[in-house]
Amino acid sequence: MIRLPLDKIIRLRVVGIITKEVHGRDVIERLIKTQTMDIQSFEWQMQLRFYWERHEQNEDCIIRQTITKFTYNYEYLGCTSRLVISPLTDRCYITLTTALHLFRGGSSKGPAGTGKTETIKDLGKIFAIYVVVQNCSESLDYKSMGRMFSGFAQ
């Protein structure tokens, strides 16, 4: 199907589904290899998991990973390309979700072009949160930052 002539949106959907399925296959292989049988096992807890939970009179989609719990935000972000999820991406997600859970920030560090920004943007897509990227430089002063934060607050 991927080799057939498809329009751009359908191709993005198909590639996204294949990417997620390959990651799912890798996770299942790792769980089998480590003989993970308990839901309290770290191998299971480290996975980003989605649950449909009931809270009193309403229901909501909840995202869990390790000790963290987030509510899915339902922000439609369009059909965009997805990041290939590697074990390094999984570790980055664990670090960032734990930092968010503890009301802390996260800063990815590494050489240019290695996917740091894309990893953070992809985590935003998973949570259905619109992510704004601001590349900082010496020309970015406090007034510009103030205008940017003022815009965020509105």
pLDDT digits 0-9 by tens, 13-51: 888 899 999 999 999 999 999 999 999 999 999 999 999
Chain centroid offset of residue 97 CA? 9
68 has pLDDT over 90: yes
φ/ψ of residue 63, rounded to 5: -105, 130
Residue 138 has pLDDT above 90, yes or no: no
Q: At 93, list the tokens.
A: 């997600």
User: Among 87-96, 102-111, 145-154, which is the least confidently predicted range?
Assistant: 145-154
Of the pLDDT bands very low, low, confident and very high (cuts 50, 70, 90), residue 60 is very high
Of the pLDDT bands very low, low, confident and very high (cuts 50, 70, 90), residue 2 is: low
**What's the first-to-final CA gap in the chain, in angstroms?**
44
Q: How far apart are CA 4 and CA 69, in angstroms?
A: 40
Q: Residue 137's pLDDT is what? A: 81
Question: What is the residue-wise DSSP string for the chain?
Answer: -TTS---HHHHHHHHHHHHHHHHHHHHHHHHHHTT---TTSHHHHTS-EEEEEEETTEEEEEEEETTEEEE-------S-------HHHHHHHHHHHHHHHTT-------STTSSHHHHHHHHHHHHT---------TT--HHHHHHHHHHHH-
Segment 126-153 shows an average pLDDT of 86
- Computed over every residue of the chain, the mean pLDDT equals 90
Range among 5-9, 62-66, 86-90 rated most confident:
62-66
Give the pLDDT score at 152.
80
Q: What is the domain class of 8-147 according to CATH? A: mainly alpha
State the pTM of this model: 0.83
**Cα dist from 82 to 69, 121, 125, whole Å:** 23, 10, 9
Whether residue 92 has pLDDT greater than 80: yes
pLDDT of residue 121: 92
pLDDT at 30: 95
- pLDDT exceeds 70 at position 1: no
Give every CB contact of residue 64 below 8 A, 6+ residues apart in sequence: 48, 49, 50, 51, 70
